[in-house]
Amino acid sequence: MANLVIVESPTKVGPIKKYLGSNYKVVASKGHLRDLPKSSLGVDIENGFDAHYINIRGKGDLIKEIKKEAKSAKKVFLATDPDREGEAIAWHLSNVLGIPVEKTLRVSFNEITPDVVKSSIKKPRNIDMNLVNSQQTRRILDRIVGYKISPLLWKTVKSGLSAGRVQSVATRIIVERENEISAFVPVEYWTIEAELQNADGKNFSVRFWGDEGGKVRLENKDEAKKVLDAIESGVFTVKSVKRADKQKLPAPPFTTSTLQQEASYKLNFQSARTMRVAQELYEGINLGSELGGVQGLITYMRTDSLRISEGAQEAAKNFIVEKYGEEYAPKTPRKFKSGKSAQDAHEAIRPSKVELTPALVKKALTPDQYKLYKLIWERFVASQMQSAKLSTITADFENNGYIFRASGYNVTFGGYMAVYEATEEFKAPSDDVAVIKDIRIPDLKGGEELSLISVDSDQHFTEAPPRYTEASLIKFLEEKGIGRPSTYTPIITTILARNYVRRDGKALVPTQLGILTTKLMEENFRDVVDYRFTANMETNLDKIEAGTLDYLDVLNGFWGGFKSDLEKASEKIGSEDIKIPVEETDMICDKCGAKMIVRTSKFGKFAACPNFPKCRNTKPLEPREDEKQAVAQKEPKKEVYADFKCEKCGSDMVLRSSRYGSFYACVKYPECKFIKTKTKEIDVPCPTCGGKVITKYGKRKTVFYSCENYPKCDFSSWDMPTAEKCPNCGKMLFRKKGKDLLICADKACGYKREAEPIKEQIEE
């Protein structure tokens, strides 16, 4: 009688089964099995917020299968994901299977590797009801907000609208930024840059900073001209030169939010794409037998902690010393302080095994997996390395009472920079005197006179604050304590799906629907869209998880104020019908001359004449930039490389397919047209020449058997040759294609007998 392990994702089944062996059977719940009903509120508010959970439609057969396996199992281990959501799924599983909470065997894996899986299964615990109650509270709050407010929006705006507790806040953030942009008034300012030369003939650039009284901002052309006139008649002298040696610490390893931000900046990944690929890296990749087979490459990717285990730090130190030298490893391991709201349930996101470098595993990964793994691996290794050493310089130059400045640094010891540099490290500062990397300023002495080679002044205007991107929105949500690692991507996905926000390239732009809905929410449900209120609610959920706050106290506290707002809004909302402003296009109706507008059908958006139904003219719309980008970002097909090289040019061989089956082709095709049929050796000598028998693909991917020495040896057969000999004539026995039957190679002999069944003849 085997033990049963229930995980969430089907992709975990294979590797975990392999690690645990034949005494364990592993099945997947494929996410939640139970949830609140869609057709009703599903929460009895008057009776202690009792939640009415039902089996999710379409999962009946899966539930029956899991029940059957659990009934015949020796022990049942609930191995869902290691977070609130995973704990809730485990709790729902225990209810479905009829296992009391106090008798449950709950295990979780921070990484899907043999050591972690085996050690975790030896130390099961009971389901943590504090975690479950925290998740339930979030689910009930979201359900109450959505199901109570949405009908009011239907009365006023349009049918089908819905409100969300955190999604409404995120929409408000984007709407408010759009209002800031609309209200922004550009302010003029000027910069002056001069090129100077010292007595040795070395040139360098300086920029206007101010005067003896401090920093000065040049607000118009006249002020800039006044400075220009003064310096052209004066002489530049060295006022001061300050040099210093500084250390720059590496960035900490990734949390969920910083991973999403950096993947956006460096890889141009949207948050959903980042999390999908990270999930694949966590759940397991087949690296091939030489690298240990299937295993997870990173730790759990939903975390806000910066903690690193001692074992991982020690492994990183050994790798750094061996790869880069002892001077690149700090004397004591680095410890990074997590944010105040961090749950610290998991480590930061790091590679499961630091010795599995991106270059080593590249062939086993898709392009997206490789890019993200490389980013995670480099960030982690850099975080455990020695600080970079910088030589900084700030030089001031005086001319007729005006101060010009040059500021920058040179890297004297790269340290962690040998591996990774974070995006934010070298962004231009808000100060209009830029800090220059690899600055080149000659040796200067105080009072030294310099020659003016050239001087330029430029007009500028202050710019409106930029629209939020997914990366900057996630950063803002994290800073305000709104949402948690597992919710950032669903929040953004939801507001886009509900058409409250649309993408314009990377920017998130509120739609007229989003603006109008936000206005209604602010007027009637201020708490729901209040930043501080939402952040406090997240803190309360953390306290429920920690066991320091009762979930019913949180629900009752919320319902008291919300019920009052709901009653007032019910009287106010619906008294007038508010129409959503239409979105105009640049297209002119060629039938009546009106400016066409955007309409939506079940097939998508299209341009329509506003004079409908008098004029029924419609036109297709060109895809927007964000839609084109979504197509461009479609996940590429995974490339599978062969473990041999091209026999003509020595390049990699990659698996391709045609209507005749699979084969390996040179990556330099069409320059190199060498191909090799995908084959597998059979441990049987060729009956004709004694060479190796291999499998090949025929038409429609059917398998046949051939000699490796083809065309010198013309042996081929649809039936599989075996190592057995015919007891009558001594010739080779063949397994009849598609049948569990052995027949003699000599038809005249006629010998045949039943054979042991086999599952497959070739590895597809």
* Residues classed as catalytic: 300
Neighbours of 479 (CB within 10 A): 11
Amino acid identity at 145: V
Cβ atoms of 723 and 762 closer than 8 Å: no
Cβ atoms of 653 and 646 closer than 8 Å: yes
Cβ atoms of 208 and 402 closer than 8 Å: yes
Neighbours of 681 (CB within 10 A): 10
The phi, psi pair for 312, rounded to 5°, reads -65, -40
Distance separating alpha carbons of residues 607 and 621, to the nearest angstrom:
6
Cβ atoms of 189 and 378 closer than 8 Å: no
Cβ atoms of 110 and 300 closer than 8 Å: yes
Distance separating alpha carbons of residues 729 and 579, to the nearest angstrom:
91
Cβ atoms of 373 and 351 closer than 8 Å: yes
The phi, psi pair for 456, rounded to 5°, reads -135, 140
Cβ atoms of 81 and 109 closer than 8 Å: no
Tokens representing 420 are: 């990774």
Distance separating alpha carbons of residues 491 and 77, to the nearest angstrom:
32
- List, as one string, the DSSP characters of 206-256: EEEEEETTEE--B-SHHHHHHHHHHHHHS-EEEEEEEEEEEEEPPPPPB-H
Q: In what order do the strands lie in the sheet with 752-754?
A: 720-725, 732-735, 741-744, 752-754
Distance separating alpha carbons of residues 539 and 548, to the nearest angstrom:
11
Cβ atoms of 15 and 66 closer than 8 Å: no
Cβ atoms of 17 and 26 closer than 8 Å: yes
The phi, psi pair for 322, rounded to 5°, reads -70, -40
- Please count the residues of the chain: 764
Q: For residue 311, what are the CA distances in angstroms to 295, 322, 361, 373?
A: 18, 17, 22, 20
- List, as one string, the DSSP characters of 87-130: HHHHHHHHHHHT--GGG-EE---SS-SHHHHHHHHTS-B---HH
